[in-house]
Structure 1
Amino acid sequence: MATIQDDDERLLMRIGYKQELRREFSKWSTMSYAISILGVLGSVPATFNVPISSGGPATAVWCWFFGSCMAMCIASSVSELVSAYPTAGGMYFVTKHVVPERHVPIWSWIVGWCNFLGQTAGVSSLAYSISQMLLATASMHSQFDGDKYAFAPTATQTVLLALALLCAMGCICSLTTKSLHTIVMWFAPINVLASIGICITLLVLTPNKHDAKWVFTHVTDGSGWGSKIFSFLLGFLSVAWTMTDYDGTTHMSEETHDAAIRGPVAINTAVIASGSIGWMLTITFCFCLGDLEKTINTPTGMPVAQIFLNAAGKRGGTVMWFFVILIQLFTGISAMLACTRMAYAFSRDGAFPCSDFWSKVNRKTHTPVNAVWLVVFCCCALNMVGIGSTETIVAIFNITAPALDLSYVAVIIARRWYADEVKFIDGPFTLGKWGLPLNAIAVTWVLFISTVLFFPPQRPITAQNFNYAICVAAFMAVFALSWWWLGARKVYTGPRTKDVMDMIPQDDSSEDDLRSGGYGTMDDHRSVV
């Protein structure tokens, strides 16, 4: 008699996939993973220079607050959709069930590539920023040569260290799901406790702190655009880059128990917690900023590193900076995990060349090791661009947030646009009557902020400060659509789900057992949860 072990596997079968990965993530490791993929203690210091230099302390503080509120609207909208279809494909797979069947291939192709490339750029940028942080630490411990540090890392050194970090993260992501569960469990507690500890330390040790009026009301026009309002808008880059990849948790759905509920809950809890911690860190850094111009133009290239040095000296500052780097590494590992599971899901559906190879699950680790090293290779290739052009590599990194967020709102728009033609049945996590207004806010915000983030951050515009992200976005669009029309449309049909009966060994009683066991059809699979 054919049997299925638990409701998770039964739900996945109804959706149309066979259980290949092991479900080892618990409620707490899922929550820790969701918090760690946002990684505010690492990402806020890495991006703090942007809002501070463009619009001053008030810009940093209020952009983070307002941006976090908007992130909550996006995250809740994403959670509602993936709750209905908790697979490794995340929002990419949901596309299959919100558009008419005739449009599934092209919609899935665009959303899938947008999501995968956005995540790949995100992982690459994390490795690059960790490399910058480590080399900044080396600079801080070198002797002064005039008014500069004796050691100034080159672009080649930064890229080579980033490549080594990517390989190290790839090794960790190749471990068994049980090992990953054990490792990830520590990510969130260290993140939260270190953030609180650093804030207390800075507020106690920093001399001559700024007053509250300066922190919460002082806005500058550091962008040169001649408008404090526009300079304020440019400050959203920090929160937009940090508070994204909401569906990262859903890419681990096939390794998580009760993913249809735990995934959405973890996503929303993580956004609330990370938004609060990020705001706390931003306010603290602004109080302890010291001289604005000197801190922005610090020899280390990292204003927060200078804040740590000013407060606790070289030794104490290095200890705090160590935790920032550690959390950024945790974020990199978490982001790479999400990207590898997306690559596994995408290749499982035949979207890559040699898809059968990339979608293989390793027999020893029961994880998609081939997909892991595909991601490592792609990220290394992106980082290699940094040797030849710093402007281009920054542009590639800047595409992360718009690419991911646009892949989310495309699915949200499709759900509403085709509502009369395609019936979407909610999963266990639903927004109810708040769904439509929250969806509208999320879509409006992403379209608005994506436009802002494509603007050059400074004037006068030069080859060095031009925002090449728009060029990268155009190249990505042309590449994906050209590939589609030149051949992919002939072989790619969207997510390759199978009928439940095709995945169960057949005998005289199996079909009756399946029916009586309550499996039903793919359309009513949500009743399992």
Structure 2
Amino acid sequence: MDSSSGLNKDFISKQPVVDHPLQQTTSKSSKEAEASGYQQNPRRMATIADDDDRLLVLHGYVPELQRHFSKWSTVSYAISILGVLGSVPATFGSPVGSGGPATAVWAWFIGSCMAMCIASSVAELVSAYPTAGGMYYVTKHVVPKEHVAAWAWIIGWCNFLGQAAGVASLAYTISQMILATAVMHSTFVDGVPSFTPTALQTVLLAILVLCLFGTICSLTTHSLHKIVMWFAPINILASICICIALLILTPNKQSAKWVFTEVTDGSGWGSKGFSFLLGFLSVAWTMTDYDGTTHMSEETHDAAIRGPVAIRVAVLVSGLIGWMLTITFCFCMSDFEAIMESPTGLPVAQIFFNAGGRTGGTVMWFFVILVQFFTGCSAMLANARMAWAFARDHAFPFSGFWGTVNRITQTPVNAVWLVVVFCSCLDLIGIGSTLTIVAIFNITAPALDISYIAVIVAYRWYEDRVKFISGPYTMGRWSKPANAVAVIWVCFISVVLFFPPVKPVTATNMNYAICVAGFIGLFSMVWWYAGARKTYTGPRTNDTIDMLSPEDPEAILSDYDIP
């Protein structure tokens, strides 16, 4: 791995300048050009004090956002967007119910290793092109020019919709967690709680949570940097403390043999092996959104190296913490059947209350909800930056409005609230149909992972036709093997995640995610052929000035006043 503390002149000079011409400002008004730090003369540019902004200009975008994210806030953000302390308890019931404790334990371990291959592949590509568009923008530089629009359209929409479904599901899950606490504190008569939340209550609370996400994500980048710095430390420390507390307070813990070897056919498919495969839901839903950190690139110092490093560190740390939590929860399932049939609907909530009683259980559960809230904020930030990047490339209706940067906060506030409204609409579906809303949530991991491997496949498929200039973060000789593992794994696990989790299959337990995926695919294709292909050209970098020769990069740097 080649790394450095910042992007140097040699790295910038290696960029394919023909594809990254400098920004022409003649279309701007004098005041706008002056405010952005650029001169009216399209052949000259004011000095940019930061390597990241110079690189962004070479990629064809005017720096509009403030760079306040440091090395530690970037790593903290990357860890928080995975948010294992919130996500593992929310999804723990699925692998344990499908294949028993050993399924949950080993599915997480294997899934984390596979996640590292995907994350490393993503990190290598985005290191070369650190923009808010993430993998969507990378498409422009791994696909022949005549195919860029179609590839970018598919990848961009998969990424945006996958992230939106993830944000909506996080808000919905937080709502369920809060209401589960209310259930545990209600009066029980013959084992039946006096309070049972309705679908309407769950959805309305989820929308309130989304509004809180939106309010925080509308703050300045400097404020977000200060807030995000605390996300990972709280996540990690709370996870360790909760594991210790559960192991001390839980009586009659399960044996190590039961935890690490007990595999069951809880799915009813007649095969322990297939039930084991269904256990990958938890790790697949948690360990995704790897490029979320990349969407913050235009607000990060030394983004070309810090972003990729943060992605891999986050997967490593989250994989270990998630495995620790999963093993601990399995040890603490002293009464397996009773915990799986908990009135809260969340087995881990019952584990907490069994160990710590109402007071202790509530304290531990509070930190789970808090970390899940951190994850939701981080996910919305990534989704909003992706929406903003997509809008500035005119991929949305009314793109001019959604692609605007607020003058006060210097952040894309309009894009933030576009995500809030869109995710609220998704959650509203839960009032009428729990099956549909669950299906929408289940599309999160496949949609995001497919958007990643599509770029990886294009990169390898067209590598003889399209010259890709690597960034400062590369895997070297391990690149192709990691890419191959990532593609094979995502293809395999996507098929598994579309299967019904329980047999016999009925209208109430059917996995409708495949139907949602089919509808999204059909809708995007119809939209594309109905008119989008005539107006959408892919990432709209500024290609209006004279093309510059890549043969003399030093002359380019000096001619454009780039120090």
TM-score by length of 1: 0.95
The structure 1 residue matched to 2:310, chosen from 266, 271, 275, is 266
Contact 1:16/1:500 (CA < 8 Å) preserved in 2?
no
The DSSP-based 3-state class of the residue aligned with 2:100 is helix
| Residue matched to 1:214 | 258
CA contact (8 A) 1:12 1:87 kept: yes
Aligned to 2:542: 498
Cα distance, 1:423 vs structure 2: 1.0
Residue by residue, what CA displacement relative to the aligned partner does 1:65-84 show, whole Å, maximum 9, x if unpaired?
00000000000000000000
In the other structure, the counterpart of 1:343 is 387
Aligned-residue offset at 1:15:
0.6
* Cα distance in 2 between the residues matched to 1:148 and 1:187: 37
1-structure distance, mates of 2:481, 2:554? 44
Deviation digits for residues 274-315 of structure 1, max 9, x if unmatched?
000000000000000111111111111110010011111110
Match of 2:402 among 329, 342, 358: 358
Map 1:248-327 → 2, pairs under 5 A = 248-327=292-371
Matched, 1:370 2:399: no
Counterpart in the other structure of 2:451: 407
Aligned length: 514
Deviations 1:479-508 (A, max 9, x none): 1111000000000000000149689xxxxx
| Residue 324 of structure 1: how far off its partner (Å) | 0.1
Determine the C-alpha separation between the residues in 2 that align with 1:97 and 1:512. 22
* Structure-2 residue corresponding to 1:31: 75
- Residues 1:434 and 2:481 are matched in the alignment: no
1:342-366 CA distance string (max 9 Å, x none): 0000000000000010000000000
Q: Distance in 1 between matches of 2:64 and 2:525?
A: 31
Could you tell me how far apart the structure 2 residues matched to 1:135 and 1:53 are?
22
Paired position in structure 1 for 2:122: 78
Determine helix, strand or coil for the equivalent of 1:493. Answer: coil
Partners of 2:294 and 2:433 in 1: CA distance: 34
1:67 equivalenced with 2:108 (yes/no): no
Q: Quick one: distance in 1 between partners of 2:559 and 2:67?
A: 22
1:36 Cα deviation after fit: 0.1
Correspondence list, 1:348-497, <5 A: 348-497=392-541
CA-based RMSD of the aligned residues comes to 1.6
Contact 2:443 2:516 in 1 (8 A): yes
Unaligned runs of 5+ in 1: 504-510, 521-527
Alignment of 1:142 onto 2:186: yes
Match of 1:516 in 2: 558
Q: CA deviation at 1:512?
A: 11
- Per-residue CA deviation, residues 83-139 of structure 1 (Å, 9 max, x unaligned), is 000000000000000000000000000000000000000000000000000000000
Question: What is aligned with 1:508?
Answer: none
Tell me what 1:243 maps to: 287
Other-structure match for 1:170: 214
Moved over 6 A (4+): 517-520
Amino acid corresponding to residue 141 of structure 2 in structure 1: H
Structure 2 distance, partners of 1:500, 1:512, is 22
Aligned residue for 1:301, secondary structure, equals coil
How far apart, CA to CA, are the structure 2 residues paired with 1:102 and 1:392? 38
**d(CA) in 2 for partners of 1:470 and 1:195?**
34
Closer, same or farther: CA 514–6 of 1 in aligned 2, 3 Å: farther
1:449-469 deviation digits (Å, cap 9, x = unpaired): 000000000011111100000
Any conservation in 2 of the 1:2–1:514 contact (CA below 8 Å)? no
What letter matches 2:487 in structure 1? Answer: V
Identify the residue that residue 227 of structure 1 maps to in structure 2. Answer: 271
- Could you tell me how far apart the structure 2 residues matched to 1:355 and 1:452 are? 36
- The code of the aligned residue for 2:386 comes to M
Residue 196 of structure 1 corresponds to: 240
TM-score by length of 2: 0.90
Q: Does 2:208 align with 1:160?
A: no
User: Displacement, 1:145?
Assistant: 2.5
The separation in 1 between residues aligned to 2:546 and 2:133, in whole angstroms, is 21
Which of 81, 95, 100 is equivalent to 1:56?
100
Structure 1: distance between partners of 2:409 and 2:464: 44
CA separation in 2, counterparts of 1:513 and 1:433? Answer: 33
For residue 510 of structure 2, what is the amino acid of its counterpart? F
Which stretches in structure 2 are left out of the alignment for 5+ residues? 1-44, 548-552
Percent identical pairs in the alignment equals 73
What is the alpha-carbon distance in structure 2 between the residues aligned to residue 266 and residue 489 of structure 1?
Answer: 36
Deviation, structure 1 residue 517? 6.2
Report the CA distance between 1:514 and its aligned residue. 5.6
Equivalent in the alignment of 1:524: none
SS in 1 for 2:397: coil
Q: CA–CA distance in 2 between the matches of 1:223 and 1:512?
A: 63
Q: 8 Å contact 1:396–1:472 — kept in the other structure?
A: yes
Deviations 1:218-266 (A, max 9, x none): 0110000000001000000000000000000000000000000000000
Measure how far apart 1:519 and its partner are.
7.9
Is the 2:296–2:385 Cα contact (8 Å) retained in structure 1? yes
